[in-house]
Amino acid sequence: MIYSLDKINEMAEGDEEFIVSVISVFLEEVPVDLEALEKALAEMNYEQVYQLAHKIKPNVDLLGMEQTRAAALEIETLGKNEANMEEIKKVFPILKTDVTQVVSELKKDFSL
């Protein structure tokens, strides 16, 4: 398992509805943002790459996805600095693989 509910559980203080709500938002927003990020990479749109990685980062952080957060941060920084797009494209598969796996696990674990 590459996600952890520790941060969400701490915030929820036992409120199961809150936990499911946070996870539902993650499942609704992050795959859409990831798809938009992939499109922004293809279009070499640095501003969009930066903004989308910036938006994804706190969502994966909330689920304790450290490797994924690091990848999002790197993409965010490279996008902001308009670095070599090939460098960003090397990091993106880590982000995509992790998010895809966690989306699948969350749907299964929470029957969503």
112, 27 contact by CB (below 8 A): yes
Of 69, 112, 111, 76, which is closest to residue 94 (Cα–Cα)? 69
Determine the pLDDT at residue 10.
95
Of 72, 41, 46, 75, which is closest to residue 58 (Cα–Cα)? 72
Q: Domain boundaries in the chain?
A: 6-107
pLDDT digits (tens, 9 = 90+) for 17-70: 999 999 999 999 999 999 999 999 999 999 999 999 999 999 999 999 999 999
Please give the CATH number for the structural domain made up of 6-107: 1.20.120
pLDDT digits (tens, 9 = 90+) for 14-27: 999 999 999 999 99
Predicted TM-score of the model (pTM): 0.93
